[in-house]
Structure 1
Amino acid sequence: APARPVRPGAGYDLKPGTPDLSAFPRTAWLKAARKALTAAPDEVFGYGDPQGRAELRTVLAEYLARARGVYADPECIVICAGFAHGLALLGRVLRRRRVREVAVESYGLDFHTGLLTDAGLRIPCLPLDERGSRTGDLAVLRGAGAVLLTPAHQFPTGVPLHPDRRAAAVDWARSTGGLILEDDYDGEFRYDRQPVGALQGLDPERVVYLGTASKSLAPGLRLGWMVLPRHLTGEVVAATSVADRVCGSPDQLTLAEFIGSGAYDRHVRSMRLRYRRRRDQLVAALADRAPGIEVSGIAAGLHAVLELPAGAERSVIQAAAFQGLALEGLSRYRHPDAPATRDALVIGYGSPSESAWAGALDALCRVLP
């Protein structure tokens, strides 16, 4: 008999971009919240500083220096409600600076590029190959005043930006006065070698570093941060309106306590082991049940890229949906001006709960060609 679609709610989701929400450290977070709020001054419950609480900016500066090689002065950090909020603020500032174009990678999130176009900016794309985005091509983009990059683990292809291309990006920014917007969306999760440090460490006055708690803890916290060049910090703070003040001060203090107490490091270590185990199980299952499928982008992060035969991407996604399995293809992330050269799946192995992971992996293997 033909297979019937799984009823809604009974399936599995392997779309990328979300961590395992069932693993949120509720007990440790509550402990941090209790301690932070017990010691909090009354002013914490007021409207707050548009730059963010000094307590959080101070512990973030220390943590980012230690964990990601970021040069961060607390006075140059702005707390934001996740990456999208930070990018929207930067788009506003760049437009006020009369920047016309922000170069982007040929694969990425259309939601992010949409924030730039909403700010009135054009988004030419850089070609991408096995060494990452071809940042040397920035020299021929005469209108570009900034470039948005995911250097540690290109999203979604998973390629780290080659050191020569990191240097080329910084050289371009220095020679033109341009800015590099660095999206370090999953920098904590690297498995097979030493962490790839932040690009920002090469030139803190030409790179805006953006990070969040969305992958390491949970996107529902809406907590992110920008480490800004000194000359840009005042402009970004000035660009925040009353409507932009969406990061609650009590949550900022809780995160500051969570990081400062060491609970954040312990949680990241635990999740790194969990995600590495899932990645290894994914690779082993593919080798056993779909040996013709090449997997890449797995040295870091919460997702992998599975190469498919030419023309197979759409049919595999449709077959998966029929089985109650939500997948996304690589074409979903391709810039409109980039050539369609690959058929592939982008598999988010972080999102299922522990109890759902085995079933999700089995369902995936069943629909692969």
Structure 2
Amino acid sequence: MEQEGHDFIVVGSGPAGCAVASRLSEDPRHQVLLLEAGPGQRKGLLASNAALGALAYGPRRSAYNWGFDTQPQAGLNGRRSYNPLGRGLGGGTSINTLMYMRGNPLDYDGWAAAGNPGWSWSEVLPYFKKSENNQTFAADDDPYHGNRGPVWVEELRTDNPWHATLRQACEEAGWPYNPDLNGATQDGFRPTQVMMKGGERHHAGQAWILPHLGTRTNLQLQCDSPVARIVFDGRRAVGVEVVQGGQKRRIRARKEVIVASGGILSAKLLQLSGVGDGAHLQRLAIPVVAHLPAVGEHLQDHLDVILGHHVPADPDLIGISPTGARGLWRAMRRWRRERRGMATTNFAEVTGFMRLAPDSPMPEIQYEFVVALAMNHGRDIY
């Protein structure tokens, strides 16, 4: 069955897909369809930040989490690593730790120097500012931040006294306090700025898509609609094959199919559609549309090293114990009343950057203080 076409079909409602779909639909001449494999907006207690523990770091795979494992890694003595990936409106921003953290300026300058015009720090900074609605750095003339964009950024609302303790410890260790890690320099530490609005997670779907559904008749969102493959006419993408209600259907794209499914699932979709290493695809009986050996290769990700320390029953920390359970119950009740307190935590409440050597061009290490003894990528909390 073939559905009426759209000008643009965007596959994936993570931050990239939501931003692209929203910006394209600003032109009323463009008919834009945003497809998401997972569910739509969460409500009730699942909207609390603390719920991310259940969504991202509970079951290995759920309606909100793809829950992948890596292949055995030589650098980890053959071990596999757990890789939670957001599934649902907002993508990774629906289950991550809410951090609002840009890359280092030298990263972007490196991209431009490698042959990517338009990607230098000075060229991307205006778009960071345009997208941001920062409640702390809200001056109109702030050189690094914006206050009129759709992405809401504010300070944590946990009121956690451990922040002061951590600040004292970091300063005693010689690590400087930095009031703005997204400003002039990335070195130092501060309480984490988060993508949160009114004490609730503010994911990409809330920022870019939900405010416009109904008011922009040219923008459509279809959740619970995993895309099985891209449909090609020769080497041109002309639509997608999507699974809805257990049935496959084709949706035509009059202009473009935009794949915005993240670093892992974008490559997977391309390969399933015949774009990738030809020999590999042929072994899987997938007709080759384009032989591009780099598709599905060269994935890089950062590692977390967890250093855990037991603290006797502390009401300002999260733990699985009678004391911890009572604290969480009180926290959820406070969150429902005030949208403040422990239930607004992003877990990694203080973060910072440091250089391995004084002459390093930029910081190589990011450190975080987590208000729970969370091991095994957060799946084991004590």
Q: TM-score, normalised by structure 2?
A: 0.24
Greater Rg over alpha carbons, structure: 2
> Which of the two has greater strand per residue?
2
> Which of the two has greater helix per residue?
1
Q: TM-score, normalised by structure 1?
A: 0.25
